[in-house]
Amino acid sequence: MVRGLGSVYLLEQRVAREQRKARIENLPFELQRNFNLMRDLDQRTEDLKGQIDSLAKEYTANARTLSSEQKLSILRQIQQSYSKCKEFGDDKVQLAMQTYEMVDKHIRRLDTDLARFEADLKEKQIESTDYDSTSSKGKKGDSRQKEKKAAKTRSKVKSSDEDGSPKSAQKKVKLLQPGEFNSPSSNFGNVHPSDVLDMPVDPNEPTYCLCHQVSYGEMIGCDNTDCSIEWFHFACVGLTTKPRGKWYCPRCSQDRKRK
């Protein structure tokens, strides 16, 4: 359905472009036609002016010898010629106004098309930016997951080596993977936050929480998908049991209140 609507939209855009192109291509011919008509009106007006001058000269030269009827006839011809000149002048003014409106209409259409084109271009740029941002975020998330999985593997190998010695004084660190469980929290044993300072930590192992330490004990995940930290130790965020419903870390809670 969406594909069909997109095809109709593209077809309409194509037809509109062809119509605009045809109007622009026809503009010179329409202007040329109007200019030729105005030039023809100018020529006919000049011819009438010549006739008026001839009649006026005839009247003044033969005024004494012409009869009243002849004088009246010449004056009527002069009056008719002046009326024709006025009609030609009015027609020329109408053609000039029509030509002006024609050019002005094309300019306004071009301005509208230009504004629409700029709006479409901005929309495509925004869509492209959103796509690049989403793609970059997805790649960053995949990279983070791979890094955590690799750290977990190193941690498991290290724990296995420590289990081999019967009296190991070192405490084991278990890494919590967010994607391993359906619930946002999991129990890894009761380990106090201060104990982590005594734990041997791989420098490449990822850190979590507000304390920027590795995963240990009970941890809870922030329900904000854009949270930069994601996972927190119960003790660091003042929790003793898993809360009901959605839970947001202190930073995300403040951001939500600001919005």
Annotated binding residues for Zn(2+): 209, 211, 222, 227, 233, 236, 249, 252
Q: Is the dihedral angle over the CA atoms 92, 93, 95, 99 positive or is it negative?
A: positive
In which element (H, E) is residue 80 found? Answer: helix 68-163
Q: Is 173 left (phi over 0), alpha (psi -120 to 50) or beta?
A: beta
**237 by DSSP, 3-state: which?**
helix
| Nearest Cα residue to 32 out of 103, 138, 88 | 103
DSSP 233: E
| Nearest Cα residue to 191 out of 210, 206, 176 | 176
Contact status, residue 220 vs residue 231, Cβ threshold 8 Å: yes
Give helix then strand counts, H and E, for the chain: 3, 3
Binding residues, by number, are 209, 211, 222, 227, 233, 236, 249, 252
Retrieve residue 104's tokens: 């002005």
Q: Which amino acid is at 36?
A: N
